[in-house]
Structure 1
Amino acid sequence: MAELRGGNLGPYELKGRVAVVTGGSNGIGAATARRLADAGATVVVGYNEGAGRAAALTADLPGSGHLALRLPMADSAALQAAAAEVTAKLGRCDVLVNSAGTTRAVPHADLDALDDDLIDRVLTINVRGPIATIRAFLPLLKASGDAVIVNISSLAAVTGTGSSIIYGASKAAIDTIGLSLARVLGSSGIRVVSISPSAVLTDFVPGRSRETVEKAALASPLRTLTEADDVALAVMSVVTHLRLTTGVAILVDGGKHL
């Protein structure tokens, strides 16, 4: 008979723990890095092209030992090398937040504009990249014995809306991957949860205006604009308090799905 883990786990203390955030130099990733550091974690701010932003953010975070590290989603070998560097410099990884992603606005009826290059790029960055990142950091996550993987997904995975058809499909894929991984990694003390916001006031979607985001917010029951920090707070709730939550997607959408 399998051995039961202890119940009544209580809040998850971040002091002495290491959190890795992909796409951490901007937007949701940066807001999450700040919240994690504020709670006492040592944070690895992952970036692809935003080296300057990552370095500035890392220097500004409270606490010490933070690290800006290139984590390119399209390069699995580089992700393995980055995990090796975290092992060498910090010795552990207790929280992994997959926030890196890409998209391009394409009207859903315009299949000609949904070209193969965009499909390949979105699936590589948004699906293969998080899998490769989890694979690279899995030994450290398992060694933690009490780890959390948070995948930044999207309401588009549920509604089939969003910036493009392939973007919504990529987020639906990451939700299914999270469901499967939660099942197989639970015995190693690893939880896997998706956080799924609606339109967030960031520059993530090229060309999307503040007016567009505000219009979407007005269409939701709560009529509240979603900021990057709202998503970061949801990540923190999963990490620190929802200790028996795994294998689910949590919507942060002001009720837009209604």
Structure 2
Amino acid sequence: MTEIQVRRGGLGPFGLTDKVAVVTGGSSGIGAATAHRLAGHGATVVVGYHSGAVRAEKIVAELPGDGHLALRLPIEDTRALEAAASLVQERFGSVSVLVNSAGSTTPVAHGDLDMMTDELFDSMLRVNVRGPYAVTRAFVPLLRASGDAVIINISSISGRTASGSSIAYCAAKAALDNLTMSLGRVLGPEIRVIGLAPAAVDTEFVAGRGRDAIAAQAASTPLKVMVHPDDIADAALAAVTQFRVATGTTFVVDGGKHL
């Protein structure tokens, strides 16, 4: 039976100095912003990418501190992920933070069931659900080796509202939220698992969706603020460093769009 931790004054903040963080999808958008934020608070960051090697190297060059690494982490390729985890183990020994930020979507009108083909539906689930699971599975030994680690899954409010770029994307993010719950239950006490669910973020994530559309969505929310990748990076930093007794839960960071 695992010994229960009893400490006066609580666990306190989770410091990032001399800790290693792995960020999938780290070459752009939320992933890149989160890499900057974690490095700015002392972490050594592995900037994961699929095909954006040049972008990833540029992010690494911009990060404060030393020892950062750009590493190909194709989330649909389990063997490549296992090889990448072995490289990280050889270089760093352990990982304290894993951010599953990589994902993708293809806009399809919810009413156009014919356009949402089996192949497209399967692809959406493979990237947005199986991908984070495969990355987590590959890095769990390194996370456990740290003795005190956290996984951040970047989800979407679409998983709760069923309103988003496509039916399949909404279903995938709902499944990711469920995965966060399951992993939170089974990976403790060494590893916390926390999800973050933004609404539309000021990135080019959804093909064909311009800033005007994002601004219009923001205008309909109670806070009336366009969410920037840095806002989600701040939420990820808070989840890592401050939410010390939270696990298996997904926090909504959408400006109140769900209300």
TM-score category (smaller protein): over 0.9
Instruction: Give me the whole-angstrom Cα distance separating, in 2, the residues matched to 1:37 and 1:210.
Output: 28
Secondary structure, in 3 states, of the residue corresponding to 1:16? coil
The aligned residue for residue 186 of structure 1 is 188
* Amino acid in the other structure paired with 1:211: D
| Residue among 55, 58, 73 paired with 1:56 | 58
Secondary structure, in 3 states, of the residue corresponding to 1:122? helix
Matches within 5 A, 1:125-144: 125-144=127-146
Matches within 5 A, 1:201-220: 201-220=202-221
Q: Calculate percent identity across the aligned residue pairs.
A: 56
**CA-to-partner distance for each residue in 1:127-153, whole Å, 9 max, x for gaps?**
111111001001011111110000000
Instruction: Give me the whole-angstrom Cα distance separating, in 1, the residues matched to 2:243 and 2:15.
Output: 13
Instruction: Give me the whole-angstrom Cα distance separating, in 1, the residues matched to 2:120 and 2:53.
Output: 24
* Amino acid in the other structure paired with 1:232: A
Q: CA deviation at 1:2?
A: 3.8
Instruction: Give me the whole-angstrom Cα distance separating, in 1, the residues matched to 2:75 and 2:144.
Output: 21
* Amino acid in the other structure paired with 2:60: T
The aligned residue for residue 3 of structure 2 is 3
Q: CA deviation at 1:122?
A: 1.0
* Amino acid in the other structure paired with 2:185: R
After the TM superposition, which of the residue ranges 116-125 and 41-50 deviates more from structure 2?
116-125
**CA-to-partner distance for each residue in 1:194-226, whole Å, 9 max, x for gaps?**
000000010111111101100110110111100
Q: CA RMSD in A?
A: 0.8
The aligned residue for residue 148 of structure 2 is 146
Give the TM-score, by structure 1 length: 0.98
Instruction: Give me the whole-angstrom Cα distance separating, in 2, the residues matched to 1:116 and 1:202.
Output: 27
Instruction: Give me the whole-angstrom Cα distance separating, in 1, the residues matched to 2:2 and 2:38.
Output: 33
Secondary structure, in 3 states, of the residue corresponding to 1:173? helix
**CA-to-partner distance for each residue in 1:72-92, whole Å, 9 max, x for gaps?**
011000000000010011111
**CA-to-partner distance for each residue in 1:173-200, whole Å, 9 max, x for gaps?**
111011011111113x110010000000
Which runs of 5 or more structure 2 residues have no equivalent in the other structure?
none
* Amino acid in the other structure paired with 1:237: A
| Residue among 67, 71, 75 paired with 1:69 | 71
Q: CA deviation at 1:6?
A: 3.8
* Amino acid in the other structure paired with 1:257: H
Instruction: Give me the whole-angstrom Cα distance separating, in 1, the residues matched to 2:155 and 2:130.
Output: 14
1:18 aligns with 2:20: yes
* Amino acid in the other structure paired with 1:90: F
Give the TM-score, by structure 2 length: 0.98
Instruction: Give me the whole-angstrom Cα distance separating, in 1, the residues matched to 2:115 and 2:203.
Output: 24
The aligned residue for residue 105 of structure 1 is 107
* Amino acid in the other structure paired with 1:244: V
Instruction: Give me the whole-angstrom Cα distance separating, in 2, the residues matched to 1:42 and 1:204.
Output: 26
Secondary structure, in 3 states, of the residue corresponding to 2:209? coil
